[in-house]
């Protein structure tokens, strides 16, 4: 997914991946909390299915 996104942006196909952690539970951040964070910080939230569907037609 990350390499495909870099290619769409016409960048070198290199990327770093991180996982957002919940400060209270130290577990991976839930999708709901990640979406909330993205919205509050004007960051696009893309899930794999959306990207897959886009790739099928482009």
- How do the domains of the chain map onto residue ranges? 19-58
* Contacts with 14 (C-beta within 8 Å, 6 or more apart), sequence order: 3, 6
Band of pLDDT at residue 15, cut at 50, 70 and 90: confident
3-class state of residue 43 by DSSP: coil
* Contacts with 50 (C-beta within 8 Å, 6 or more apart), sequence order: none
Which pLDDT score, from 0 to 100, does residue 17 have?
Answer: 84
Average pLDDT, the chain: 93
């Amino acid at each position: 997914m990350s390499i495909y996104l870099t290619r769409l942006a016409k960048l070198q196909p290199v990327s770093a991946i991180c996982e957002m952690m919940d400060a209270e539970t130290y577990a991976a951040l839930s999708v709901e909390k990640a979406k909330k964070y993205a919205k509050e910080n004007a960051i696009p939230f893309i899930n794999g299915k959306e990207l897959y569907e886009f790739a099928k037609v482009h």
